[in-house]
Amino acid sequence: MIEIENLTKRYGSQTAVADVSFRCETGTVTGFLGPNGAGKSTTMRILCGLTPATSGRALIDGVPYRNLPNPGRAVGVLLDASAQHAGRTGREVLTLGALVLGLPTGRVGQVLDLVGLDKKAADKRVGNYSLGMRQRLGLAHALLGNPATLVLDEPANGLDPEGIFWMRGLLREFADRGGTVLLSSHLLHEVEAVADHLVVIGNGKIAADGSKQELLAGAGTLVRAVEADALAATLRAGGATVTATADGALLVDAEPLVVGRAAAASGAVLTELRTADGAGLEALFLQLTATATAAAPAGAINSPMEVAR
């Protein structure tokens, strides 16, 4: 189990994470979502003992990462697939990891098979790996100690569609066997396919935290209009949060009846009006992160480290 309790991180006058709290239960995959600079990576780095918190706690099985007797045997971490020794082969990277963790070197072959890196790939220098191969090696390293918890930041980057499908099955099987997964990814459809629980962060604060079913059940209204800008202005004037989607629709945090009445009052011509449930996680993400951005105080800007994300 992962527990984040009132976590805050400041860099001087800048706040990267502000009073963040959530839990990842045993046997579940938790999707950790947010736009670039929202605080995801800072939270995960604090959880894994790489960045000290200003206040609050981040616990794995009830203790901080640094207090685990052999952390690699309890939690598998993949935060940056490119952070691997380019001059070593994949097999050498994993063999060194096994020795550090006190594991038999036979475990290396097992995880190589598990992530689909054959002998030719395993004996190639990491500097010659594609990004997808680095991701597979990073997952192999995370799984090396047979941990009960996985913390993964963008593990699907560089994977082809077949690789993404494979990773989805791997994570689902891991959780179904009683493991705990915290998964950050910008591939919203993949998160929607595998996650049981969703945590959305925006501007360093939690915008939503709940089961996938309950959060997607209230995703708002999707509307299209001939003059979308005019309709958006009318809705905002009435107190609604309105977000434009990539394909020109408007996502509104109000019931369809409310949106329809506003359109009628303004004389807007609608071409589509429906609940946004079918738009899935993408619609929810746009709605929640737009709300979080609008609500952010002027001083709550993200750290330079997070802006790069």
CA distance 155 to 138: 8
pLDDT tens, residue by residue, 49-67: 999 999 999 999 999 999 9
The pLDDT of residue 184: 93
- Phi and psi at 173, nearest 5°, equal -65, -40
Alpha-carbon gap, residue 76 to 58, rounded angstroms = 16
The candidate with the shortest Cα–Cα distance to 83, out of 48, 118, 59, 110, is 48
Convert the pLDDT of each residue in 198-256 to its tens digit. Answer: 999 988 999 889 888 777 766 678 899 998 999 999 999 988 888 877 677 888 888 88
Are 38 and 203 in contact by the 8 Å Cβ rule? The answer is yes
> pLDDT (tens digit, 9 = 90+) per residue, 268-297?
999 999 877 655 677 677 766 765 555 554
Q: Could you tell me the two tokens for 45?
A: 């780095």
pLDDT at residue 306 tops 80? no
- Per-residue pLDDT tens for 104-163? 999 999 999 999 999 999 999 999 999 999 999 999 999 999 999 999 999 988 888 899
Top pLDDT among 298 and 24 is at 24
DSSP readout, 265-291?
Answer: HHTPPEEEEEEGGGGHHHHHHHHHHHH
Contacts of 66 (CB under 8 A, 6+ apart): 49
The residue ranges of every structural domain in the chain are 2-210, 216-307
> In the 3-class helix/strand/coil scheme, how is 40-101 assigned residue by residue?
HHHHHHHHCCCCCCCEEEEEECCECHHHCCCHHHHEEEECCCCCCCCCCEHHHHHHHHHHHH
Please tell me the chain's helix, strand, coil percentages from 3-state DSSP, rounded to the nearest 5: 40, 25, 30
Chain centroid to CA 103: how far?
30
In this structure, which topology does domain 2-210 adopt according to CATH?
A: Rossmann fold (3.40.50)
Residues 6+ away with beta carbon under 8 Å from 45: 51, 79
For 204, which DSSP code? T
- Side by side, the strands of the sheet bearing 75-78 are 75-78, 149-153, 180-184, 29-33, 197-202, 205-211
3-class DSSP state for residue 203? Answer: coil
Instruction: Provide the pLDDT confidence category of residue 305 given band limits of 50, 70 and 90.
Output: very low
Helices and strands (DSSP H and E) totals, the chain = 13, 13
Q: Which of 29-33, 172-176, 209-213, 222-226 has the lowest mean pLDDT?
A: 209-213
CA-based radius of gyration for the chain: 22
